[in-house]
A and B are shown apart, each in its own frame.
Chain A
Amino acid sequence: MENFKELLINCTYLIASFLFIFGIKRMSSPATAKNGNLVSGIGMLLAILVTLLDRHILSYELIILGLVIGSAIGAVLAYKVEMTAMPQMVGLLNGFGGGASALVGMAEYYNTSLHGFPDDGGKFLVSVGLSLLIGAVTFTGSLIAFGKLQGLVTGKVVKLPGQNPIVVLLILSILGLVGFGMADPGNLIYFELVVFLSLVLGVLLVMPIGGADMPVAISLLNSYSGLAGAATGFVIDNNMLIIAGALVGASGIILTNIMCKAMNRSIMNVLLGGWANTAESGSGDTDKKDLVVKSVDTEEAAMLFSGASKVVIVPGYGMAVSQAQHAVKDLMNVLEKNGTEVRFAIHPVAGRMPGHMNILLAESNVPYDKLFALEEINDDFKNADISLVIGANDVVNPAARNNPQSTIYGMPILNVDYSKTVIVVKRSMNAGYAGIENELFYMDNTLMYFGDAKDAVTKLVNELKSMNS
């Protein structure tokens, strides 16, 4: 009977691993993605149910209580969260995943210490050390990232004096403590210190990351949460955990890489709070003072739009902040009614997490086949009558192409300046995240349309409607 149960459990884990892989495979197209998520969820459900048969489980009270509380909190979070707050949500979920892995590592360690360590204690203890380190770093790091995105912690770059040596020292101490813990397995204090120092390390690693660099931080923490799960798989000798953890780890690393490339920066530069330090240095802005900024009012902007046949809309974080996605969708409708072709150009780092703009526009019912990635649409800006930039700044700054002195030089940008007319919706002339002037605003074919994104676009829509009627 016991043998049969064990076989059933292991076979189900195999099926669940397959379902996770298959589920992610179905994420390769928006048409199949919903089904893929369901498939992966079924894998998870099977894995949880069959684990309840495990012979090590002797009582169910705490399990049931935990399942009920966790599910309730998770469901409420999932249904209440605003689409604009999705980066915080993902940040928080990363943290819970990492925290759970660290707790399992510690629970296994305490429990094993009561019954004596196995003969190959080295492998067990190294795995415990890794799951504690990665899990705890993911936990506090994600809480700080959540705080930064939610505005509870400053979005600025925060560094201790001597930050980098302190971080290196911390990591070495943690590794050293794992070594001591292995040499003296009966003494629990070493691994308890590992947890404590790792929690501190998580805070120190995320504090220097600036607000607009959060897409990188969130992606990286996502990867960590997977690796923490894989480490826990090594602790409890479970292939399914290792497979699932490795998949998530790979996913996070790939996204991190895409984000860094889209900013033409190295991962180290982002993690060490790179931009904020160099932002003010030499971009040769002095002659900008003489340049003129042309602005338009609603009526003039509406006139231009009514004469345009091809429009490209470029959304940025400003659209999310002012919740302008529904107004933007209305604008698309009214323009299309006029026979104008409307497309959206989305920079990989627009917003605060990968794909942030896409879910906002999906929320407001913009069909996903109107959303184009940078490389898909960049050669087409020259054919656009109007490029409408809504709350984006650094990602459309031509300095990235033609000013080698600029801090953002070399970063791939959306070439909106090649279109016949550029209209920029922006609250003021303030600089973007990189802290540099945007020469786009001073160009001959650029018109500034000042105002909050939602207000400005709504006014534009109303004006266009009244012109049509």
Chain B
Amino acid sequence: MPTQKVETKVLVFSWIFQIIAAIILGMAAWDKIVGTETSHYVFTTLEMEPAGRIIIASIESLAAIMLLSTSIPHMGAVLGLGVMMGAIIAHISKLGFDVNNDGGKMVMMMTVVIFSTIAIIFLHRSRFPMGEKDTD
């Protein structure tokens, strides 16, 4: 896979987003694993309780770990953004924006992660294959 070196300045900038996204994703995963009241409510509404809750929690933790790695943060961002897309669909179609009277806190967190992961993907865009083939 063609990977190009990302500049150090860009890397430092990217790490800020990586840490923010990883913390939020990690916390979200933890809430789902211990089964807080809100997460029970969310996944019952989506009719995914309990399997879906555990699956999403696993994906979120994996994304958080990948985001904190040096070699594959961009793939972690892709995974994290994927979960967030599912979350957008859930909020639009089933949950609404004021989940369990939290005053939009969950949606706000989601927006922060979406923004961070898109930023990470953009900063690391040279590491994604665009069809470059190995020329010799």
A and B from one assembly?
no
Interface set of B (CB-CB < 8 Å, partner A)? none
